[in-house]
Amino acid sequence: FKGGDTCEYLLSSGRFLGEKVWQPHSCMMHKYKISEAKNCLVDKHIVFIGDSRIRQLFYSFIKLINPQVKEEGNKHGNIPFEDKSASIKVDFLWYPEVNGSMRQCIKSWTEGSVEKPHIIVAGAATWSIKIHNGSNEALTQYKINITSIAPLLEKLAKSSDVYWVLQDPVYEDILSESRKMITNEKIDAYNEAAVRILNSSSRNSKAKVKVFSVSKLIAQETIMKSTDGLHLPESSRDTNAMILMNVYCNKIMKPIDGSCCQPEPPLTLIQKLAFCFFTLSIIGYLIIHLIHRNNYRKNKSCTDLESGEEKKPAISAPSVSTLEMLLQSFCKLGLIMTYFYLCDRANLFMKENKFYTHSSFFIPIVYILVLGVFYTENTKETKVLNREQTDEWKGWMQLVILIYHISGASTFLPVYMHIRVLVAAYLFQTGYGHFSYFWIKGDFGVYRVCQV
């Protein structure tokens, strides 16, 4: 069972299954297409506010809407973006430090003097470390400044989605001389301060600023590929943008392969009525069964006290009424439907996206091969493609096809092509079996056709 909020997991934990393939803990992440992203964000206003790292995230995000966008414009200034076809507005606001200017910008949204965005993504720290040469006084001032904006962010979080992006680690070996003071130790100190202050400000509040900490985990694996030691490679930024899209859009679009951040669907009227019906059937069956059982016990054979002879029972066996049999059938159907319901609850269980590896497909195949060697039987049939032979053939094909689907081997072309051959062989076996029966038995009746 998932045992927690999948949104929290999506924002804070996960691992790489392979190169550029990020797997959140306990849930599936959907890859949004351009049309899906536009449908989700129609008539929305999104704001990214912060430093150059937030600017990179801004560009990766808008490329999900329009891949043709180029990273042009003033690097140290505000950058607007608008998609008129879907009325989507995305802005980057250049505020490289958490200071009075950033506070005033956020305050203008809370006071209503400026239109409030639907999504706010904020984060900054490296400029404060760089400008003040990594001094402890700068860290103290950072704590004071973020403490002053935390209540404003909490107020915005009541009506908007607010995300605070923690600072990614740096690759210190290739940092330029002007950035050598930006160390991972300093970044950790700034992150700890931000998390502590934001969490304490929301402790007694229902609304909460969401801390985007998963970027740190992604950066730990990929920062070595950075060109300057400070900014993430493009693939990592794209992963962060896709996570952000999943956090906001999954509850709106409800993609079948994106279980993260999807609320559990409420029970429908039909499901409630079915639950009541099957519950009453179970109760009714138990009551009738107990009554019949008690009646049977009362009429059981007993010993006469005077003669010591055993009397014959009035009823030799408990009778089963038609009503009891009907209720018993409903009970079985109810258990089957309950099992279906549990299997269909995608959000009840931890799930992961399929990722093909050779070992995940071929190791189970070897298991089947080894078991097949040790478990062999002789058949009395002598003709080719007899019933026992074809049943065994279809059986191992079913196992191979099952492993193929579970392991996601359809992405590996040689396996995919061989499985297509097995599917064709299975169809041939099915047709051949029915033809043989009709040819030998000569049973062409409607009853047999309906059975098939």
The rounded mean pLDDT for the chain is: 89
Question: Is 286 part of any domain?
Answer: no
**What is the separation of C-alpha 422 from the centre of its chain, rounded to a whole number of angstroms?**
31
Q: How far is CA 182 from CA 172, 173, 174, 185, 402, in A?
A: 8, 11, 12, 8, 51
Q: Which of 187-196, 205-214, 220-229, 305-314 has the lowest mean pLDDT?
A: 305-314
The pLDDT assigned to 445 comes to: 81
Question: Is 443 part of any domain?
Answer: yes
Q: How confident is the model at residue 293 (pLDDT cuts 50, 70, 90)?
A: confident
Q: How confident is the model at residue 394 (pLDDT cuts 50, 70, 90)?
A: very high
Residues 57, 80: Cα–Cα separation, whole Å: 14
Active site residue 205: no
Q: What is the CATH number of the domain that holds 50?
A: 3.40.50.1110
Residue with the two structure tokens 């989605």: 161
Question: Is 78 part of any domain?
Answer: yes
Segment 336-348 shows an average pLDDT of 80
Q: How confident is the model at residue 318 (pLDDT cuts 50, 70, 90)?
A: low
Give 23-57 pLDDT, tens digit per residue: 999 899 999 999 999 999 999 999 999 999 999 99
The pLDDT assigned to 292 comes to: 81
Residues 249, 36: Cα–Cα separation, whole Å: 9
The pLDDT assigned to 297 comes to: 74
For residue 310, give the 3-state DSSP assignment: strand
Instruction: Give me the catalytic one of 159, 176, 228, 434.
Output: 228
Residues 164 and 24 in one domain: yes
Q: Is the pLDDT of residue 205 over 60?
A: no
Q: Which of 7-21, 102-116, 284-298 has the lowest mean pLDDT?
A: 284-298
Last residue of a domain, one of 253, 281, 298: 253
Residues 358 and 242 in one domain: no
Number of structural domains the chain divides into: 2
Listed residue (313, 319, 314, 315) closest to 301, CA to CA:
313
The pLDDT assigned to 319 comes to: 62
The pLDDT assigned to 440 comes to: 85
Residues 363 and 248 in one domain: no
Residues 218 and 75 in one domain: yes
Residue 123 pairs with which residues in a beta bridge? 50
Residues 409, 400: Cα–Cα separation, whole Å: 11
Residue 88 pairs with which residues in a beta bridge? 83
Range of the domain at 45: 6-253
Q: How confident is the model at residue 327 (pLDDT cuts 50, 70, 90)?
A: very high
**Do strands 79-83 and 88-94 pair parallel, antiparallel, or not at all (unpaired)?**
antiparallel
Residues 373 and 246 in one domain: no
Question: Is 340 part of any domain?
Answer: no
Residues 124, 103: Cα–Cα separation, whole Å: 13
Q: Is the pLDDT of residue 179 over 90?
A: yes
Q: Give the best-scoring range by mean pLDDT among 110-119, 291-300, 328-337.
A: 328-337
Q: How confident is the model at residue 246 (pLDDT cuts 50, 70, 90)?
A: very high
The pLDDT assigned to 349 comes to: 77
Sequence-distant (≥ 6) Cβ neighbours of residue 241 within 8 angstroms? 57, 60, 61, 63, 64
Q: Is the pLDDT of residue 199 over 50?
A: yes
Residues 359 and 210 in one domain: no
Residues 236 and 118 in one domain: yes
Q: Which of 177-191, 383-397, 405-419 has the lowest mean pLDDT?
A: 383-397
Q: Is the pLDDT of residue 156 over 50?
A: yes
Q: Is the pLDDT of residue 206 over 80?
A: no
Question: Is 405 part of any domain?
Answer: yes
Q: How confident is the model at residue 300 (pLDDT cuts 50, 70, 90)?
A: low
Last residue of a domain, one of 183, 218, 253: 253
Instruction: Give me the catalytic one of 52, 108, 148, 360.
Output: 52
The pLDDT assigned to 379 comes to: 81
Residues 386 and 245 in one domain: no
Structure tokens at 98: 């958490």
Instruction: Give me the catalytic one of 25, 30, 45, 231.
Output: 231
Question: Is 292 part of any domain?
Answer: no
Segment 337-363 shows an average pLDDT of 85
Q: How confident is the model at residue 346 (pLDDT cuts 50, 70, 90)?
A: low
Residues 216 and 106 in one domain: yes
Question: Is 130 part of any domain?
Answer: yes
Residues 248 and 99 in one domain: yes
Q: Is the pLDDT of residue 311 over 60?
A: no
Q: Cα–Cα–Cα angle for 94, 121, 16, nearest 5°?
A: 115
Residues 154 and 22 in one domain: yes
Residues 359 and 248 in one domain: no
Question: Is 261 part of any domain?
Answer: no
Last residue of a domain, one of 253, 273, 294: 253
Active site residue 228: yes
The pLDDT assigned to 48 comes to: 98
The pLDDT assigned to 303 comes to: 47
Q: How confident is the model at residue 203 (pLDDT cuts 50, 70, 90)?
A: low
Q: Which of 53-57, 165-169, 254-258, 263-267 has the lowest mean pLDDT?
A: 263-267
